[in-house]
């Protein structure tokens, strides 16, 4: 994985309409120009290129980049910002985020893509990707490790949970008794949380973690998200329970092995009437490829042991 940055990317875009702007301060009017005869305040200049600050600058830059990559044999059928090129020796995937380009693939194709970009645009080659939208990427000889340790620390500090006592599970035990279930819907005698409690903000922060590198909190987070319209103190305590679990598992993440052997292992289980409020059963599953390290802890076998215990629990 390699990261490149386009220098002054918006200036490469060609405008699709006529845009005029007032003469900025410090602009020297060429000698012999008719503008010398009039006041600067009464004059304007026509833009030939896209400029930072225009509403359409981002779109114009994307059109310029997309046109160039498509001309080089890339396709973006899956997503407008994901360009893929395959060859007889390998492949390369370019993920575009404004002026940052993440390149993933085989080494030869990545080198070719870097050369193509440098031939057309002024680029900064930032080497192997280490950070991307809150994700931290550690490169090892046998694979890569994705985690969000820094993001998790910021979230815990933001919600004043950075000094909380860690817990070993992301969710409290539930009860099939509707009246005893801590996640039951709001009752008539209960009060909803006020706007001063950042329930939705906490759900959003946890969702980003669950979707990127922490599938172990996905179920608990999605369950609590169901009550976003009418949360109570019980549901807020459930959020804080997840925060306390994260406090003890900050370094957890996903490990992707370089092993070329592809294998698929899955575990699944279902609970009859495990949701007593709607009288519905629930199903859970986890899949991993190659090695049993769907959830990993860096430089230890902790993640493997966790996966093994989860699998045995589901099969028993």
Segment 253-265 shows an average pLDDT of 77
- The upper half-sphere exposure of residue 48, i.e. CA atoms within 13 Å in the direction of its Cβ, equals 0
Q: pLDDT-derived band of residue 194, with 50, 70 and 90 as boundaries? A: confident
What mean pLDDT value characterizes the chain? 83
- Relative to beta strand 131-132, strand 135-140 is antiparallel
The CA-atom distances, in angstroms, between 179 and each of 186, 200, 220 are 11, 25, 19
pLDDT value at residue 111: 93
Instruction: Give yes or no for residue 221 having a pLDDT over 90.
Output: yes
In angstroms, the CA 125 to CA 102 distance is: 11
Choice between 313 and 265, residue whose per-residue pLDDT is larger: 265
Q: pLDDT-derived band of residue 132, with 50, 70 and 90 as boundaries? A: confident
Share of the chain above pLDDT 90, in %: 49
Q: Which two tokens stand for residue 40?
A: 């600067």
pLDDT value at residue 303: 42
Share of the chain above pLDDT 70, in %: 81
Segment 32-49 shows an average pLDDT of 70
pLDDT value at residue 60: 92
pLDDT value at residue 301: 41
Choice between 46 and 313, residue whose per-residue pLDDT is larger: 46
Segment 278-285 shows an average pLDDT of 71
Instruction: Give yes or no for residue 275 having a pLDDT over 80.
Output: no
Model confidence over 223-238: pLDDT tens digits? 899 889 888 888 999 9
Find the helix packing angle between 199-212 and 233-248, rounded to 10°: 40
Choice between 110 and 191, residue whose per-residue pLDDT is larger: 110
Q: pLDDT-derived band of residue 75, with 50, 70 and 90 as boundaries? A: very high
Instruction: Give yes or no for residue 262 having a pLDDT over 90.
Output: no
Segment 55-74 shows an average pLDDT of 93
Beta sheet of 82-86, edge-to-edge order: 75-79, 82-86, 91-97, 100-105, 2-6, 123-128
Choice between 303 and 231, residue whose per-residue pLDDT is larger: 231
pLDDT value at residue 153: 97
Model confidence over 151-171: pLDDT tens digits? 999 999 999 999 999 999 998
- Relative to beta strand 91-97, strand 100-105 is antiparallel
Q: How far is C-alpha 46 from the geometric centre of its chain's CA atoms?
A: 39
Segment 280-287 shows an average pLDDT of 74
Q: pLDDT-derived band of residue 308, with 50, 70 and 90 as boundaries? A: very low
**Contact yes or no for 297/252 (Cβ under 8 A):** yes
Model confidence over 81-99: pLDDT tens digits? 999 999 998 999 999 999 9
pLDDT value at residue 278: 63
Residue spans per domain, the chain: 2-129, 147-315
pLDDT value at residue 45: 80
In angstroms, the CA 21 to CA 46 distance is: 7
């Amino acid at each position: 994985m390699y990261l490149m940055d386009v220098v002054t990317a918006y200036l490469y875009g060609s405008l699709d309409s006529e845009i005029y702007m007032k003469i900025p301060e410090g602009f020297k009017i060429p000698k012999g120009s008719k503008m010398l005869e009039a006041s600067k305040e009464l004059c304007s200049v026509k833009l030939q290129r896209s400029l930072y600050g225009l509403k359409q600058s981002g779109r114009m830059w994307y059109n310029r980049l997309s046109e160039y990559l498509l001309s080089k044999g890339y396709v973006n059928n899956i997503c407008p910002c994901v360009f893929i090129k395959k060859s007889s020796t390998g492949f390369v995937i370019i993920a575009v985020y404004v002026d940052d380009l993440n390149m993933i693939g085989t080494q030869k194709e990545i080198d070719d893509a870097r050369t193509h970009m440098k031939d057309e645009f002024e680029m900064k080659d930032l080497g192997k990707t280490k950070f991307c939208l809150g994700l931290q990427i550690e490169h090892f000889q046998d694979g890569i490790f994705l985690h969000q340790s820094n993001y998790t620390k910021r979230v815990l500090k933001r919600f004043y949970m950075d000094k909380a006592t860690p817990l070993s599970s992301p969710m409290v035990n539930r009860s099939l008794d509707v009246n005893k279930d801590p996640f039951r819907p709001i009752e008539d005698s209960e009060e909803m949380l006020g706007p001063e409690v950042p329930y939705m903000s906490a759900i959003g922060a946890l969702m980003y973690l669950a979707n990127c590198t922490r599938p172990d909190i996905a179920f608990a987070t999605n369950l609590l998200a169901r009550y976003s319209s009418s949360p109570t103190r019980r549901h807020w305590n459930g959020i804080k329970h997840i925060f306390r679990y994260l406090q003890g598992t900050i370094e957890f993440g996903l490990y992707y092995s370089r092993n070329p052997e592809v294998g698929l292992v899955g575990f699944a289980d279902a609970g009859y009437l495990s949701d007593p409020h709607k009288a519905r059963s629930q199903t859970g599953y986890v899949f991993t490829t190659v090695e049993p390290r769907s959830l990993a802890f860096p430089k230890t076998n902790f993640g493997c042991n966790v996966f093994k215990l989860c699998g045995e629990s589901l099969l028993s």
